[in-house]
Amino acid sequence: MTQQQPWNPNDAGVLRLPSGRLVRGRALRRPLPADGPSPTYAVYLLGKQPPEVPWEAHWLRWPDFRLPTERARAVELLTEAWSRTPADRVELACGGGRGRTGTALACLAVLDGVPADEAVDFVRRHYDRHAVETPWQRRYVRRFTT
């Protein structure tokens, strides 16, 4: 695995996990940032298949305001995303960049050692104060385990 230039921790959407790992959350309805690097690995959290991108990407079927349709696949892809953060520029993204993306980022925070009952607050403090939009998304994070 080749080490990539990391995300700039000051760029919009970049979350620094407690271990120092960096991951970017993004709204797919907005264009890619014009400046800065592209992801090298991404997980797209959408109800329908996303368009092709020139980097390695996986689709996790996750309808808006809901939860992933396949729990085991969600755990697999989010664990893979977390494990790749030291060497890749990992991006998690949904349509608006808040609900599903915030939920997935909170799950990565759990994998990084944040207690599950504190992960939503962590993401709201360090990524977006409106992240994780529904009660069932908050419950999903509290119960997220590998």
pLDDT for the residue 107: 98
pLDDT for the residue 146: 53
Return contacts of 121-127, CB within 8 angstroms, 24+ apart: 122/18, 123/15, 126/15, 126/16, 127/13, 127/15, 127/25, 127/102
pLDDT for the residue 130: 96
pLDDT for the residue 32: 87
Give residue limits of the domains in the chain.
21-142
Give the global pTM.
0.95
pLDDT for the residue 6: 87
Strands 56-61 and 41-46: parallel
pLDDT for the residue 49: 92
Beta bridge partners of 94: 27
pLDDT for the residue 145: 77
The segments of the chain whose pLDDT lies below 50 read: 1
Domain 21-142 has CATH 3.90.190.10: yes
pLDDT for the residue 89: 97
